[in-house]
Amino acid sequence: MTKRQGKSGTIDVKALLADDKEFLRALVRAALQEVLEAEMTEAVGAEKGERTAGRQSYRSGYYDRTLVTRVGKLELRVPQDRMGRFSTELFERYQRSERALVAALAEMDVQGVSTRKVKAITEELCGHSFSASSISAMNQQLDTALAQFAGRPLAEAFPYLILDARYERVREAGVIASQAVLIAIGIDGDGRRQVLAVELANRESRSSWRDFLLGLKARGLHGVEFVVADDHAGLRAGLREVLVQAAYQRCYVHFLRNALDYVPRRVDDDCLQELRWLGACPRAGHRPDPGDRRDLAEARRDLAAWLAKWSGEYPKLTGWVEENIDETLTFYRLPRQHHKHLKSTNMLERLNEEIKHRTHVVRIFPMARVAYGWCVRSPSRPTKTGLSSIAT
């Protein structure tokens, strides 16, 4: 063993003990074993082999118990009495620490830390590592909370609803396939945003979106007046069946992406930039942004000018825009202060980024239930959106 010199030139005993983990482990184990024997003596009312009239019970062997500490795992022999009355207080603090550790493991899982990293962290902190399967089993305690979240009643009205889906890779019966994660965000009358539902489906079909929306209505969803979503055919069909009364806003950002399919590879940048600004209200010194225009009439005047300017050069693009742009301008029927937030699904895309941050570490989920658990553990508490009180 290498000797270390302290500042005074003497041997640094503390450093030596810190380096010799086996010595510390044996020392702590001996001390705890003595505590257990002393507690048994007090409970029984007699030392080992002592004959006394005040004896309350008799010793009856030992059972083994492993205690995880900062110096590593300690194998202890816990004494027992014949009447089964003995209960040590030594493990009470350990049990509290164990519960805290399990809670910490669950929180790491929620934050998207991989089970392998959790294993390495626990081994470094407490000298004992949990297997990846053990960590996954611990996190199953979250399933009850997830079920309560998924089935909670929706008592208040949600005038605004934002729908979107993302995909995760799941292994089922040995086959890896992408499954759709359907997500709904609702905005109540006070402008608070809530994650209403997160569900897995084989794909974004009419039936999957219809069942998703019917599930929301069964939980009490009502008062929906305005829905923001992309132009997915299955989603549109589900909306027509379940939320007939709600106005549909096609996501402006998705609309601009779809427009790229109707232009050649080399296209005039001014054409696309002006298309992007069609719904903008130019302000001195400010770059226009879709949703800033004062009213629909102003937007339509600029649309006519844009069509006249570019129809000769890009007839395919202008024809498609003229046919499809009306659904992207539905947000003009809302109060002007709501335009910026509800012209696209960007409010939900932020949530998708949170989900992606957590699920990226897994890449391929072993089963659909696990994928659902990871996706639904994203922030779901009501948050402010910047919208004033809603009165559509």
Question: DSSP assignment of 165-181, as one string?
Answer: EEEEEEEETTEEEEEEE
User: Does the pLDDT of residue 129 top 50, yes or no?
Assistant: yes
> What integer is the mean pLDDT of 47-61?
79
Taking Cα atoms as reference points, which of 144, 232, 135 lies closest to residue 183? 232
Q: What is the CA radius of gyration of the chain?
A: 32
pLDDT of amino acid 179: 87
Residues in the chain: 392
pLDDT of amino acid 368: 65
pLDDT-based confidence at 161, cuts 50/70/90? Answer: very high
pLDDT of amino acid 371: 63
3-class SS letters over 145-165: HHHHHHHCCCCCCCCEEEEEE
pLDDT of amino acid 62: 85
pTM comes to 0.66
């909670």: which residue's tokens?
152
Cα–Cα dist 308/76, whole Å = 86
- Residue 66's φ and ψ, nearest 5 degrees, are -95, 130
Q: What is each CA distance from 154 to 150, 157, 196, 210, 218, in whole angstroms?
A: 11, 8, 8, 18, 9
- SS3 category, 254: helix
Cα–Cα dist 344/361, whole Å = 28
pLDDT of amino acid 284: 38
Amino acid of residue 384: K
User: Does the pLDDT of residue 374 top 90, yes or no?
Assistant: no
User: Does the pLDDT of residue 101 top 70, yes or no?
Assistant: no
Cα–Cα dist 390/226, whole Å = 11
Taking Cα atoms as reference points, which of 172, 176, 352 lies closest to residue 251? 352
> What integer is the mean pLDDT of 352-360?
77
Of 57-66, 116-125, 272-281, 355-364, which has the strongest mean pLDDT?
57-66
pLDDT-based confidence at 282, cuts 50/70/90? Answer: very low
70's CB contacts (< 8 A; 6+ apart) are 125, 126, 127
pLDDT of amino acid 377: 62
What the block records as the tokens of 280 is 């903008």
User: Does the pLDDT of residue 210 top 90, yes or no?
Assistant: yes
What the block records as the tokens of 54 is 């005040």
Amino acid of residue 383: T
Does residue 115 or residue 220 have the better pLDDT?
Answer: 220
Cα–Cα dist 245/44, whole Å = 76
Residues pairing with 195 in the sheet: 185
pLDDT of amino acid 37: 83
pLDDT of amino acid 291: 46
Taking Cα atoms as reference points, which of 199, 154, 11, 10 lies closest to residue 1? 11
User: Does the pLDDT of residue 18 top 70, yes or no?
Assistant: no
Amino acid of residue 153: P
User: Does the pLDDT of residue 227 top 90, yes or no?
Assistant: yes
> Domain spans of the chain?
1-82, 89-151, 157-384
């081994």: which residue's tokens?
123
247's CB contacts (< 8 A; 6+ apart) are 225, 226, 227, 330, 333
Residues 219, 224, 226: CA angle, nearest 5 degrees: 145
> What integer is the mean pLDDT of 336-350?
88
> How many CB atoms are located within 10 Å of the residue 206 CB?
17
